[in-house]
Amino acid sequence: MSRKYNFSAGPAMIPLEVLEQARDELVDWNDSGMSVMEMSHRGKDYLSIAAEAEADLRDVMSIPDNYKVLFMQGGASSQFSAIPMNLLRGKDSADYINTGAWSKKAIAEAAKFCDVNVVATGEDSNFMSIPDQASWDLNPEAAYVHYTPNETIAGVEFHDIPDTGDVPLVADMSSTILSRPIDVSKFALIYAGAQKNIGPAGLTIVIVRDDLIGDVIKGTPAMMDYAIQSKADSMYNTPPTYSWYLAGLVFKWLKGKGGLDGMAEINKRKSDKLYAAIDDSDFYKNPIALNCRSWMNIPFTLGNSDLDGDFIAQAAEKGLVTLKGHRSVGGMRASIYNAMPEEGVDALIEFMAEFEKKYG
Ligand SMILES: *Cc1c(COP(=O)(O)O)cnc(C)c1O
């Protein structure tokens, strides 16, 4: 077996220990005589798997008791519409911070349901920096404020939680959840597609303060109604059972790594060394403002973009794959989520130095 260092932005690497445990349990889970994939989601075995995953996530993130944790489907993209449907609660406008590609998608979807006020935008800097919160024009009457803590495509990340006073704060944490400890009580709602830092695609985690649910707009599908999903313990219909199980294994793996404090230390070290390698060279460049560089997604360009193809091909020969940047940005992007081992980052840095020596 040879595992590659996969720098994909998503679906992304899953910890090897987790994959091995899943392999060992694949055809017969815990002497049940069946695979988790084959279990009824209403059966005792599966209910124990589901409950344990939720308990471990609550533990890892220190989620307060007055928050519901929902295991939903449809990806983060479905939440772009579920959020206004659930959180407008009789109001007709919401504030959005536009820091790039994913913010824009959330804004476009919300605009189908309410007046969207874009209260701050990074457009002037071509989304390479985040406007200072002092300049945001927040509306105290807004139903909520939505932002994207980590913009996966450009690699722009908030390193502080915005203060929105009494207005509920909503965060698309798809590409940064579980990368470090956060104070969940500062948020009204946190959501994330699983395929970056949680587990396989098909599962979407929603963490929502319980006083905010139960007043949806007319026409909201049952599948998107947080109150209905919450009442059904996220089993209004058949949930993505296997993804939920695998996410549970990842939560246990995180606990073994020292929880989110332990992860944060490793993630900071991984990203610091990759940025240092880029900044210390005259050949590689990362254009993002220093105070908002992402720990998880690190785009970089080569001194000569004609060499992009050679870089990608030669990196692949060393087992360093999926480094091609997003089509809208070009260059390279190294996504280094929790499951990317530090050795993978070291191998990339070593390869970058060799490549620069040859062509720089
Ligand atoms: C990947 C991503 C999404 C889209 O997630 P899906 O689960 O594919 O819908 C949304 N927001 C951010 C920040 C992402 O990184």
Residue written as token pair 């260092």: 5
Strand-pair category, 93-98 with 145-147: parallel
Tokens of 355: 């490549």
Please determine, for residue 327, whether its predicted confidence score (pLDDT) is greater than 90.
no
Q: What gap in Å lies between CA 83 and CA 211, rounded to an integer?
A: 14
User: Nearest Cα to 334, choosing from 342, 346, 345?
Assistant: 345
Rounded distance between C-alpha atoms, residue 165 and residue 186, angstroms: 10
Q: Where are the domains positioned within the chain?
A: 16-256, 258-359
Residue identifier of the C-alpha nearest atom 8 of ligand 1: 75
Q: Are strands 145-147 and 169-172 parallel, antiparallel or unpaired?
A: parallel
- pLDDT grade for 360, boundaries at 50, 70 and 90: confident
Average of pLDDT values for 204-213? 98
Percent of the chain with pLDDT over 90: 98
Cβ-based neighbour number of residue 220 at 10 Å: 18
244 counts as catalytic? no
Q: Is 76 in the pocket of ligand 1 (CB under 6 A)?
A: yes
Indicate whether 70 pLDDT > 90: yes
Q: What is the pLDDT of residue 98?
A: 98
**Catalytic annotation present for 172:** yes
Look at residue 5 and give its three-state secondary structure. Answer: strand
> Which pLDDT tens digit goes with each residue over 15-32?
999 999 999 999 999 999
Pocket test for ligand 1, best of 83, 150, 175, 189 (most atoms within 8 A of CB): 175
Structure tokens at 35: 């695979």
Ligand 1 mean position, distance from CA 8 (Å): 13
Separation CA 175–CA 150 (nearest Å): 6
* 36 C-alpha to ligand 1 centroid (Å): 26
- Closest Cα partner for 299 from 339, 319, 326, 262? 326
Could you tell me which of 174, 172, 332, 337 has the C-alpha nearest to residue 267?
337
Query: Do β-strands 156-157 and 150-151 pair in parallel, antiparallel, or remain unpaired?
Result: antiparallel
What pLDDT is recorded for position 2?
87
Per-residue model confidence (pLDDT) at position 220: 98
Mean pLDDT, to the nearest integer, of 152-156? Answer: 97
Residue 329 has a pLDDT of 84
pLDDT > 80? residue 250 = yes
Centroid of ligand 1 to alpha carbon of 90 (angstroms): 27
**Burial class, 333, CB count within 10 angstroms (exposed 0-12 / middle 13-18 / buried 19+):** buried
Q: Which residue has the tokens 């030669």?
A: 314
Q: How far is it, in rounded angstroms, from Cα 209 to Cα 226?
A: 11
Q: Tell me how far apart the alpha carbons of residues 174 and 30 are, in angstroms, rounded to a whole number.
A: 31
CB 150 within 8 A of CB 176: yes
User: Which H or E element spans position 71?
Assistant: strand 67-72
Averaged pLDDT, 191-204? 98
**Alpha-carbon distance 199 to 212, whole Å?**
27
- For the four alpha carbons of 208, 213, 217 and 223, in that order, the dihedral sign comes to positive
Q: Is the pLDDT of residue 1 over 90?
A: no
| pLDDT number for residue 333 | 98
Q: Terminal CA-to-CA distance of the chain, rounded, Å?
A: 34
Structure tokens, 311: 């870089």
Q: Does the structure show a pLDDT above 90 at 213?
A: yes
- pLDDT 10s digits, 261-320: 999 999 999 999 999 999 999 999 999 999 999 999 999 999 999 999 999 999 999 999
pLDDT tens track for 339-351 = 999 999 999 999 9
pLDDT recorded at residue 186? 98
pLDDT digits (tens, 9 = 90+) for 328-340: 888 999 999 999 9
Mean pLDDT for all residues in the chain:
97
**Per-residue pLDDT, 16:** 98
Annotation says 112 is catalytic: no
The continuous run of DSSP H or E covering 334 comes out as strand 332-335
pLDDT for 94:
98
Q: Which residues contact 277 (CB under 8 A, 6 or more apart)?
A: 284, 349, 352, 353
Predicted TM-score of the model (pTM) = 0.98
Q: Which amino acid is at 136?
A: W
Q: What is the pLDDT of residue 136?
A: 96
Second-level CATH architecture of 16-256: 3-Layer(aba) Sandwich (3.40)
Which residues, in sequence order, are bridge partners of residue 94?
A: 116
Q: What is the pLDDT of residue 328?
A: 83
Q: How far is the CA of 77 from the centre of ligand 1 (A)?
A: 6
* Pick among 3.90.1150.10, 3.90.50.10, 3.20.20.70, 2.60.40.420: CATH of 258-359: 3.90.1150.10
**pLDDT score for 335:** 98
Which residue's CA is the nearest one to ligand 1's atom 12?
Answer: 174
